[in-house]
């Protein structure tokens, strides 16, 4: 794996590549801080409850965070919180929208994230991801990203939310969409 801080952002693959990482392979500081916060919240449990998230505890991470509610056991997800840095990564709005709605504007992006979100929700385990954006994805404003998807849910119940923390590297030389 290319170290996160020194990855060559100017060399884009033809097609976007998504690689599942082990948690030990995570390198991006924001992602590691998000994972550490989740681990602290769960305090030895399988996962913490969504209402345990305290904004003041993660103020510096909020712009890199997404909170999504699982709908029908993971058939769809409503992105209820989208940090500013994450929102700027796409040419279409994603906050307060379901992945199925986002798929109209960003079909490949939604298709990539749905199985990862679903795996996180249904397994109740974190999923770490490295994305290398390909030339076929001009609607994405970053060249690569490291993200961790973390399950949240009630004690003894199935996970019903996921939170993600991601660190993105802007695509140099390409226009940014708002």
For every one of its 178 residues, what pLDDT tens digit does the chain have, with 9 covering 90 and above? Answer: 334 443 444 566 788 888 999 999 999 999 999 999 999 999 999 999 999 999 999 999 999 999 999 999 999 999 999 999 998 888 899 999 999 999 999 999 999 999 999 999 999 999 999 988 877 777 777 888 899 999 999 999 999 999 999 998 876 644 333 3
Question: Which pLDDT does position 9 carry in this prediction?
Answer: 44
State residue 136's pLDDT score: 73
Res 3: pLDDT: 40
- Closest by CA to 110, choosing from 79, 88, 64, 80, is 79
* Domain 15-166 CATH (choose: 3.30.450, 3.30.70, 1.10.443, 1.10.3470): 3.30.450
pLDDT of amino acid 2: 37
Measured between alpha carbons, how far is residue 58 from residues 64, 65, 165 in Å? 10, 10, 11
**Residue linked to tokens 């712009």:** 63
Amino acid 6: pLDDT:
39
Show Cβ contacts of residue 178 under 8 Å, excluding neighbours closer than 6 positions.
88
**Predicted model pTM:** 0.88
Q: Considering Cα of 114, then 120, then 121, then 123, what sign does the dihedral take?
A: positive
Q: Let me know: does 170 contact 176? Beta carbons within 8 Å.
A: yes
């Amino acid at each position: 794996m290319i170290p996160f801080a020194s990855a060559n952002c100017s060399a884009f693959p033809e097609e976007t590549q998504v690689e599942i990482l082990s948690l030990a392979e995570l390198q991006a500081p924001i992602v590691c801080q998000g994972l550490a916060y989740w681990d602290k919240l769960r305090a030895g449990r399988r996962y913490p409850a969504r209402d345990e998230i305290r904004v003041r505890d993660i103020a510096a991470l909020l712009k890199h965070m997404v909170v999504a509610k699982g709908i029908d056991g993971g058939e769809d997800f409503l992105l209820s919180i989208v940090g500013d840095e994450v929102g700027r990564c796409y040419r279409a709005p994603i906050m307060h929208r379901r992945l199925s709605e986002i798929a109209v504007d960003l079909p490949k992006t939604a298709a990539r994230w749905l199985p990862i979100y679903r795996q996180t929700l249904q397994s109740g385990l974190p999923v770490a991801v490295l994305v290398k954006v390909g030339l076929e994805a001009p609607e994405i404003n970053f060249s690569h990203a490291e993200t961790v998807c973390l399950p949240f849910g009630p004690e003894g119940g199935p996970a019903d939310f996921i939170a993600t923390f991601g660190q993105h590297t802007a695509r140099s030389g390409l226009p940014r969409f708002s």
